[in-house]
Each structure stands twice: as structure tokens, then as C-alpha cells.
Amino acid sequence: MADRVLVTGAAGMLGRDLVAHLEGRPGLEVIGVDSHDFDITQRELVLEAVTGIAPRWIIHGAAMTAVEACESDPERAFAVNAFGTRNLAEAARRVGAHMAYVSTDYVFDGKLKRPYTEWDAVGPRSVYGLSKLGGERALDPEWTIVRTAWLFGQHGPNMVRTVLRLAREADGSRRRLPFVDDQHGCPTASPDLAPVLADLALSRMPGVFHVTNQSPTTWFGLARAVVELAGLDPGLVEPISTAQLDPPLLAPRPANSVLDNLALRLSGRPLLADWHEAAARLIDLILKEET
Ligand SMILES: NC(=O)c1ccc[n+]([C@@H]2O[C@H](COP(=O)([O-])OP(=O)(O)OC[C@H]3O[C@@H](n4cnc5c(N)ncnc54)[C@H](OP(=O)(O)O)[C@@H]3O)[C@@H](O)[C@H]2O)c1
């Protein structure tokens, strides 16, 4: 009988790429679940479902990912991101499954003047970051935590799609698109992350791993690159500071959340490529979808 891997958040941006990647693997049965299958905040439902499936691995990508919504509804954010992960961890213990959890750069406060390693102190500034850290703390030490950042991919809304849409709407007009130029991070392609996440989980690598594409930038830098890659006028985007955002964001973001992929390097694994390559591939795909 094939070994089962349970993927939560399977209909999400990362979940869809992860399931697609895992489905090609021989000897593995992939079971993707989403909120329509069971709500991870409901302990009894989680225990019943997971013991029924009896997976060898659980790759847990389900989360309340809307950072602003988390800030305005902390109860729900903690229910899904922290308590929901606790429920899955309890279920994983019952069936003896190895659990891998997808976490975020927003567990850091952003004050450090260099990239954050896996061994730097956490200090989330937002409800989203704190609730995701709550999820990290529900895991056993021998399980896997993969922190990633600024995800973009083919499925679901994300910065690359949003910038492309806004830039096309603004093209030809005198309107400029303001993007924040004082928050630094590493945009990461969901299809690039999925195989590394799968490998770390299936090989039961214990501990925290930072996994992002290379080449730190700002939201302005990302927006400008997307506009250029799409063949539009890079002058369409203009840099602003976080303080200039109108209306201001509810949830504070770390000014620096560049993740050093130190543990990945130390484990001898290759790093992901520069995000520009993946962004160019995604833009090609979006443009082809439209023709
Ligand atoms: N997006 C980023 O920039 C980013 C950055 C760093 C880390 N991450 C982490 O990476 C992971 C994947 O992110 P993503 O952007 O691919 O997520 P996403 O597209 O928002 O998908 C999240 C999935 O979780 C499911 N879900 C939410 N609440 C649930 C519940 N109570 N019970 C069961 N399922 C539930 C959602 O289902 P419904 O749609 O049906 O609610 C959705 O399919 C998350 O853990 C996130 O925290 C994301």
C-alpha cells in the first residue's frame, strides 16, 4: 500500500503547487484537504479525519493568510493559525505522522540590519505573525518548520498578478502606482518552494528552515521588476514610504524580513534561484492564459 501524505490548505496558492508536485511521486498517495473537507479549528473533526486517513506525513499549509483580516479579527486568526495547528499536531501524534508546518517571515520584528537566520530571536509585530508563531510552538522538536515569505504563484491572488493588473489599468494614463520602498524581503515563487518543502517534510528534517528565492528587494522593487518584465513602462510605479500609505495598514509589517536560508545551506541542499526568473515565468504564463 502506498504511504499517505496529507496536505492541508490544498486549494490554496502553495497547496495547489505542492499537491501537483507530490502527485508525481511513486509510492505516495496524496490526500489534499481544505476548509470544505474539515475546519482545522474543530478539534474533534480534525482528530476523526486524520485518524481515518492515517497519513505518514502531514504537510500543513492551511492558514488565515490575510494579514489585515487577522489584525481586525485576532480571535479567528488564533483559532486557525495557532489552535488549528495545535489540533493537527495532536492528530499527528495519535497516528505517528511526521508534521511539516509552513510559517512566515512575519515572525520577526524587522529591526535587524542583516538577513534573519533560523537562530535569530523572533518578535512578531502583527496578529498574523504572532498567531503563526503560535502554530510553530505547537510542533514537536523533531518535526519540520519551513518559514517562507512574499509568496507568488499561478493560483490565487498575489503581488505579481496585482501589479500586472494595476499597471495595465494605469498604462497610458498619467496615474502613478505607489509601492512601499522601505520594507525589505525575498519574494518567493510557490512552484519553486513546493519541491523543497516536500523534500524537507518527506525526509523528516527536524527544526526550522528558511526557504525563499534569492535576491532581496522591496515591494517597490518587486512591482518595478514585474512591470518591466511585462514590457510595460517602469516609470508607472513610484516609491513611497510605509508612513505615506493612505489609508495606513492596520497590521505593522517588519521593515526587514529578508531570510537567510542558512539551515538549508548547512544541510547541503541547493538554494532556490533568483525570484526574477520565476516572476518572468509566471508573467509569461499569465500572458499566455489570456491569449
Ligand atoms: N502568501 C504569502 O505571502 C505567505 C508568506 C509566508 C508564509 N505563508 C504561509 O504559507 C502557507 C500557504 O500560503 P498561501 O498564500 O498559499 O495560502 P492561501 O492561498 O491563502 O491558502 C490557505 C488555505 O488554507 C485554507 N484554510 C483557511 N482556514 C482554514 C480552516 N479553518 N480549516 C481548513 N482550511 C483552512 C484555505 O481554505 P479556504 O480558502 O476555503 O478558506 C486556503 O485553501 C500558509 O501557511 C501561510 O501562512 C504565506
Read off φ and ψ for residue 95, nearest 5 degrees.
-100, 0
Residue 170 pLDDT exceeds 90? no
Question: For 251-284, what is each residue's pLDDT tens digit?
Answer: 999 999 999 999 999 999 999 999 999 999 999 9
Q: Give the cell for residue 67.
A: 494579514
Residue 286 pLDDT exceeds 90? no
Substitution candidate for ligand 1 out of 35, 150, 183, 258 with most atoms within 8 A of CB = 35
Q: How many CB atoms lie within 10 A of CB 255?
A: 18
Task: Say what the pLDDT of residue 156 is.
Answer: 83
* Inter-residue contact 261 to 210 (CB < 8 Å): yes
Task: Say what the pLDDT of residue 119 is.
Answer: 98
Share of the chain above pLDDT 90, in %: 87
Residue 1 pLDDT exceeds 80? no
Substitution candidate for ligand 1 out of 34, 99, 196 with most atoms within 8 A of CB = 34
Question: For 134-162, what is each residue's pLDDT tens digit?
Answer: 999 999 999 999 999 999 999 988 889 89
Task: Say what the pLDDT of residue 169 is.
Answer: 86
SS3 letters across 120-182? CCCCCCCHHHHHHHHHHCCCCCCCEEEEECCEECCCCCCHHHHHHHHHHHHCCCCCCEEEECC
The residue segments making up the domain with residue 139 are 3-290
Give CA torsion, residues 77, 108, 111, 116, to 10 deg: -160
| Ligand 1 near 188 CB (within 6 A) | no
Residue 171 pLDDT exceeds 80? no
Confidence tier at 61 by pLDDT (50, 70, 90): very high
Question: For 183-193, what is each residue's pLDDT tens digit?
Answer: 999 999 999 99
Domain containing 257 — which CATH number?
Answer: 3.40.50.720
Residue 288 pLDDT exceeds 90? no
* Inter-residue contact 260 to 117 (CB < 8 Å): yes
What is the C-alpha to C-alpha distance for residues 202 and 205, in angstroms, rounded to an integer?
8
Q: Total domain count for the chain?
A: 1
pTM of the predicted structure, to 2 decimals: 0.97
Strand partners, 150: none
